Homo-oligomer: A and B are copies of this chain.
Amino acid sequence: MQMNKNTAVGVVGATGYTGQEVLTLLEGHPGARLEFATSRSQAGEPTGIEGLVYSDPDMDRARDCDVVFLCLPHGKAVPWVESLLGRGGEAPRIIDLTADHRPGSGRESAAVYGLNEWYRDSVADAPLVANPGCYPTGMLLSLMPLFREGLVDPARLTVVNAASGVTGAGRAPRPDLLFAEVAGNFRAYGGGNRHRHLREVRSELGEVEILFQPHLLPVSRGILETIVLPVPEGIDADRIRGLWATRYRDEPAITVRESGLPELRDAVGTDRISLGVEDAADTRGPVCVLGVAFDNLGKGAAGQAVQNFNAIMKWPTELGIRC
């Protein structure tokens, strides 16, 4: 294991919220040596990291890296990927944090889906990793074991209620994201089960009967998902908790609560995800309520990206993350 900050990494799109978080984690990562951090608007300005200023995008510098993190707006990763991987020869490994190559994007065949705790081994050999979306990370890590084991009632609707802090909407100035518009407010969005993250979830879970309703929270960071899950007769919270505990026993970035549902702040500022489950009273068929808490910029973006970086480098998954 080489641990001397010798692996050359670069961050493309380093001034967005995701890019900033990736930069923070890589600066503290014992194996990474930051070669560049691109920003068109702030080129030449200090990054806050000693010896590193933002630089203009430069494909040649990217080519010289071992691993490149793409933290661009959705849609902007495609030309970088084509240019870096299309040449043949020695190419850097790419971790794409945009939606461009995720399941359901139409370009997913070019990438390995970086849901780390499930596809870590494939990530290890992939030229291109599609880092999961924030909401899907929570839905999939909680629901995949249950769907795979048949702990979900397929005839009844699973309702995923989710709420995210505003950094999930990015850093480009929008009138509806101004402080005075968000403070003291709370609102649903997504247009009636039409959020694009659904296709990513469905690609993994199958054509499940799911309703996903996101909301915007007046907080900077964090996602809480409260999932109303109809289960088959005989299944209960203990069974689900047990399944999670078994499946994720050796996963340092996943916490399974012994009781109750997690709060947002259990996870904000970390790269962990916290799972909890309760039985619901007074329903005709059995229903469980699942709670999932994580930081949209941590486990929901940069933290998982660093886990994928560690997978590529054959390092322990917790290296350089906050868990």
Contact = CB atoms under 8 A, between A and B. Distances in A.
Contact of A265 (B157, B184, B191, B215): B184
A185 interface: yes
Contacts of A3: none
A157 B193 contact: no
Interface string A182-202: 111111100111100010000
Contacts of A115: none
B186 A224 contact: yes
A213 B228 contact: yes
> Looking at A175, A180, A289, which has the most chain B CB atoms within 10 Å of its CB?
A180
Interface string A256-299: 00000101110011000000001111111101010100000000
A10 interface: no
A173 interface: yes
Interface in A212-267: 213, 215, 217-222, 224, 226, 228, 230, 261, 263-265
Contact of A173 (B163, B178, B213): B178
Contacts of A161: 159, 161, 213, 226
Interface stretch (A127-135, A164-172, A308-316): A164-172
A264 B183 contact: no
A54 interface: no
Given A173-B174, A213-B289, 18 more contacts: A157-B157, A157-B228, A157-B287, A167-B180, A171-B180, A173-B175, A178-B179, A179-B183, A183-B184, A185-B263, A186-B217, A187-B261, A192-B289, A193-B283, A213-B226, A215-B226, A217-B217, A269-B269
Contacts of A282: 193, 198
A77 B285 CA distance: 37
Contacts of A287: 157, 193, 211
A188 B227 CA distance: 11
Contacts of A209: 283-284
B187 A263 contact: yes
Contact of A156 (B157, B221, B269): B157
Contacts of A285: 157
A177 interface: yes
A179 B184 CA distance: 11
A180 B220 contact: yes
